[in-house]
Structure 1
Amino acid sequence: MSSLALPSRPLSLARNVISTPNAYFWTTPIILALVVFLALWDAPGLIRDFQISRKPLVLENGDVQNGRCTTRKAIFTDCEARLVYSYGGRNYDTEVEVMFVDFHTGDYETGLVISADHPELATISLGLDMLWNRIITLTVFVVLLGGMSLGTIFLGLRIWRVNSQLRRPAMLTPVPVEVTAFDRKRGILSITYNDKIAADKTGRSAYTRMKKGEEPLIVGQANGKAIGLAVRHGNTALPVLLDARLQRVELTDDERSAALAPMARQQERAPALIEEPRRSASIWKRLQVFLGMLLLIVIGAAGFWLWYITSSTTPFQSPGMDINNLMPAPLNEWGCEQLKKRFGQDRAPFGCVADDFTSWK
């Protein structure tokens, strides 16, 4: 791989040769807003329940109304309820909502708990049982999402700092970089490259945009990836990918010609950044994938149904009730018989209920 012979004097680079990905401008505020929303939505309830947990008092005559738990993504559960109770000659009416991670199936049992010192603070016993679960869940969400947003802010500031440094002349050191991704849209060539080849590699990735007619200075290929030539500008954190005509470096025309002359033959052999045509699957292949996924869903639903009617700890388990209700009449009847053998003393679940909506059919 030929080395680029640049003048042995400090050189400056063009403006904005390191670009900020457009996604940074909309993902960062969205993630930050999500962090704030989670904190404002869940933190007050956690603080309330932590206070209650220090001196809890279970009210046997308390009324838990409209209690409902919803499970999302199989493990994320949020429960809400209206709490109506009387204590110390005063009546209270409040609503609570808790979120936690659980692999539970079926219904939850809960009661009404208040703070003995502050009876206006009330919650459901399930919220106290899952208190540390909730604290850890919220902490993980805030740390992960907050870390992501802070990471994008840090990278954006690094790019801004590097671009400001590039305008000041400094010694340039040519280094090879790996082109990891590129995209051409509306005459703009967007390139992501990684500093992972040079002896003093940093492992950092950078992103740049080239206008119509500009191409990167490609000098080879390795492991199916194009190798571009970049320069380190003094002690800046990110290398700058050069263009094929060296317009990004402030040189005279004679200096550009002299620098590019030894590399002319190598550039002729270097691969061009040409997007490979996207192969679309045939209709038969797509049909096979669809039927395969459908078969997996059917097998999974059938397995879940068998578990529900033979092993579930409660007949009121969703989606077990829904699957049983959708089964053909013979299978539905057999499933209801299995459930009735184990839960016949309780009211019938959906899918096995008679016309009175209570007894078994």
Structure 2
Amino acid sequence: MQSQTEPPRQLSLPPQDGGWRGTLFALLGTLMFGAMLVAIAVYTVPNLVSDWQVRGTAQPMADGRVTEGKCSSRLVLNICDATLSVRTKTGVVSRDVNYIFTDIHSGDYSVTVLADPARPELATTDMALDKLWNRSITLLVGGGILLALTVAPVIGLIRRLRARPA
């Protein structure tokens, strides 16, 4: 008995351009990760820069208080928001701070308010200065990842549009 061999099946591939869904996801990814990058730049970078400026001259402030503060942890990434107030000769100076750093920690953080006596408006905490390098590296790595995730979809979209047959 002769066996009949079937012809090989044709495999069909999806279109290379990804269609309108690919374009939509690329734009949404760019917007989402770009917004996160802008948020880090607006809320975290100014505090980090000012902490680098006062790191050598900051002293504990007797009248320094944390009026509001909370930290949240996701795996090893910690995000802390606080409102610091320092009493000066001219009145009370209040400052909102945001810290992002990596740490394996359970429980609450205890902080002391510090400030440069010459610039009390740049109030910070001892935790922020202790984790200054950690915060800097976390910002560089996280910001780099977010920048790559913001730019990569645009590059992919441009490549797909250029590869389209005319």
> Over residues 287-322 of structure 1, what are the superposed CA-to-partner deviations in whole Å (9 max), with x where a residue is unaligned?
xxxxxxxxxxxxxxxxxxxxxxxxxxxxxxxxxxxx
Pair member with larger Rg: 1
2:8 match: none
Q: Residues 113-132 of structure 1 correspond to what in structure 2 (within 5 A)?
A: 113-132=114-133
The answer on whether the counterparts of 2:63 and 2:86 sit within 8 Å (CA) in structure 1 is yes
The answer on whether the counterparts of 1:79 and 1:97 sit within 8 Å (CA) in structure 2 is yes
> Over residues 77-115 of structure 1, what are the superposed CA-to-partner deviations in whole Å (9 max), with x where a residue is unaligned?
22233322223x222233323221110112222111112
Relative distance call for 1:82 and 1:46 in structure 2 (3 A) is same
2:11 match: none
Relative distance call for 1:145 and 1:66 in structure 2 (3 A) is closer
The answer on whether the counterparts of 2:111 and 2:126 sit within 8 Å (CA) in structure 1 is yes
- Greater displacement, 92-101 / 44-53: 92-101
Relative distance call for 1:151 and 1:68 in structure 2 (3 A) is closer
The answer on whether the counterparts of 2:71 and 2:80 sit within 8 Å (CA) in structure 1 is yes
Relative distance call for 1:97 and 1:37 in structure 2 (3 A) is closer
Q: Residues 33-52 of structure 1 correspond to what in structure 2 (within 5 A)?
A: 33-52=35-54
CA RMSD of aligned residues (A): 2.0
Q: Residues 1-361 of structure 1 correspond to what in structure 2 (within 5 A)?
A: 18-20=16-18, 21-22=22-23, 23-71=25-73, 73-87=74-88, 89-91=89-91, 92-163=93-164, 166-167=165-166
Distance in 1 between residues matched to 2:159 and 2:70, nearest whole Å = 47
TM-score, normalization by structure 1: 0.38
1:358 match: none
Relative distance call for 1:27 and 1:112 in structure 2 (3 A) is same
Relative distance call for 1:28 and 1:68 in structure 2 (3 A) is closer
> Over residues 148-191 of structure 1, what are the superposed CA-to-partner deviations in whole Å (9 max), with x where a residue is unaligned?
2222211211122222xx33xxxxxxxxxxxxxxxxxxxxxxxx
| 1:59 Cα deviation from its structure 2 partner | 1.5
Structure number with greater CO (CA < 8 Å, separation at least 6) is 2
State the aligned residue count.
147
Q: Secondary structure at the match of 1:25?
A: helix
Q: Report % sequence identity.
A: 27
TM-score, normalization by structure 2: 0.77
Structure 2: runs of 5+ lacking an equivalent: 1-14
1:290 match: none
Distance in 2 between residues matched to 1:110 and 1:62, nearest whole Å = 11
The answer on whether the counterparts of 2:27 and 2:153 sit within 8 Å (CA) in structure 1 is no
The answer on whether the counterparts of 2:29 and 2:149 sit within 8 Å (CA) in structure 1 is no
Relative distance call for 1:85 and 1:29 in structure 2 (3 A) is closer
Distance in 2 between residues matched to 1:34 and 1:161, nearest whole Å = 28
Relative distance call for 1:82 and 1:151 in structure 2 (3 A) is closer
| 1:24 Cα deviation from its structure 2 partner | 1.5
| 1:141 Cα deviation from its structure 2 partner | 1.5
Give the AA of the match of 2:94: D
Q: Secondary structure at the match of 1:19?
A: coil
Q: Secondary structure at the match of 1:149?
A: helix
Give the AA of the match of 1:103: I
The answer on whether the counterparts of 1:51 and 1:115 sit within 8 Å (CA) in structure 2 is no
1:306 match: none
Give the AA of the match of 1:119: P
Give the AA of the match of 1:32: G
